[in-house]
Chain A
Amino acid sequence: MAEAQNIPVGSTTAGSIAVAAESTVATRMSAPPSFDVADFPVPHGREEEWRFTPLERLRGLHDGTAVANGNGVKVDVQAPEGVTVEAVGRDDARLGKAGTPVDRVAAQAYTAFEKAGVVTVPKETVLTEPIRISVHGEGGTAFGHQVIELGAFAEAVVVIDHTGDAVLAANVDYLLGDGAKLTVVSVQDWDEKAVHVAQHNALVGRDASFKSVVVTFGGDVVRLHPRVQYAGPGGEAELFGLYFTDKGQHQEHRLLVDHNVPHCKSNVVYKGALQGEDAHAVWIGDVLIEAKAEGTDTYEMNRNLVLTDGARVDSVPNLEIETGEIVGAGHASATGRFDDEQLFYLMARGIPEHEARRLVVRGFFAELVQQIGLPDIEERLIAKIEEELEAAVA
Chain B
Amino acid sequence: MATLEIRDLHVTVEADNATKEILKGVDLTVKQGETHAIMGPNGSGKSTLAYSLAGHPKYTITGGTVTLDGEDVLEMSVDERARAGLFLAMQYPVEVPGVSVSNFLRTSATAIRGEAPKLRTWVKEVKEAMERLNMDPSFAERNVNEGFSGGEKKRHEILQLELLKPKMAILDETDSGLDVDALRVVSEGVNRVRETGEVGTLLITHYTRILRYIKPDHVHVFSGGRIVESGGAELADKLENEGYEAYTKGGASA
Contacts and interface: CB of A to CB of B under 8 A. Distances in A.
Contacts of B98: 2, 362-367
B94 A4 contact: yes
A347 B94 contact: no
A351 B96 contact: no
B79 interface: yes
A353 interface: yes
A120 interface: no
Contacts of B107: 351, 355, 359
Interface in B89-134: 90, 93-99, 103-104, 107-108, 111-112
A2 B145 CA distance: 12
Contacts of B143: 363
Interface in B34-85: 54-57, 77-79, 81-83
Contact of B96 (A346, A350, A355): A346
A299 B170 CA distance: 45
Interface in A160-175: none
Interface stretch (A59-67, A121-129, A224-232, A337-345): A337-345
B77 A344 contact: no
Interface string A353-377: 1011001101111110000000000
B56 A349 contact: no
B79 A350 contact: yes
A142 B252 CA distance: 76
A394 interface: no
Contacts of B99: 359-360, 362-363, 366
Size class of B's contact patch? 20 to 34
Contacts of B77: 347, 353
B78 A342 contact: no
B111 A349 contact: yes
B69 to A, nearest CB: 17
A82 interface: no
B111 A355 contact: yes
Contacts of B57: 340, 344
B204 interface: no
Nearest to A363: B98
A307 B98 CA distance: 17
A26 interface: no
B97 A1 contact: yes
Interface string B206-226: 000000000000000000000
Interface residues of A, number: 27
A349 B94 contact: no
A351 B143 CA distance: 17
A356 B82 CA distance: 13
B88 A348 contact: yes
A352 B140 CA distance: 22
B164 to A, nearest CB: 7
A349 B83 CA distance: 8
A183 to B, nearest CB: 22
B160 interface: yes
Contacts of B55: 347-348
Contacts of A352: 79, 111
Contacts of B87: 348
Contacts of B108: 346, 349-351
A347 B78 contact: yes
A345 B82 contact: no
Nearest to B163: A349
Nearest to A340: B57
Contact of B97 (A345, A356, A363): A363
A305 to B, nearest CB: 10
Given A340-B57, A351-B79, A359-B104, A345 B111 contact: no
Contacts of A345: 90, 93-94, 96
Contacts of A339: 94
27 contacts: A4-B94, A339-B94, A340-B57, A344-B94, A347-B55, A348-B55, A348-B87, A348-B88, A349-B108, A349-B111, A349-B112, A349-B160, A350-B82, A351-B107, A351-B111, A352-B79, A353-B77, A355-B107, A355-B111, A359-B96, A359-B104, A362-B99, A363-B96, A363-B98, A364-B97, A366-B99, A367-B97
Interface of A: 1-2, 4, 339-342, 344-353, 355-356, 359-360, 362-367
Given A348-B81, A348-B88, A362-B99, 19 more contacts: A344-B56, A344-B78, A345-B94, A345-B96, A347-B79, A348-B87, A348-B90, A349-B82, A349-B111, A350-B82, A350-B108, A350-B112, A351-B111, A355-B111, A359-B103, A359-B107, A363-B97, A363-B99, A365-B98
Q: Would you list the 9 A-B pairs with minimal beta carbon distance, nearest first?
A: A363-B98, A350-B111, A350-B82, A347-B78, A349-B108, A366-B98, A363-B99, A350-B112, A347-B79
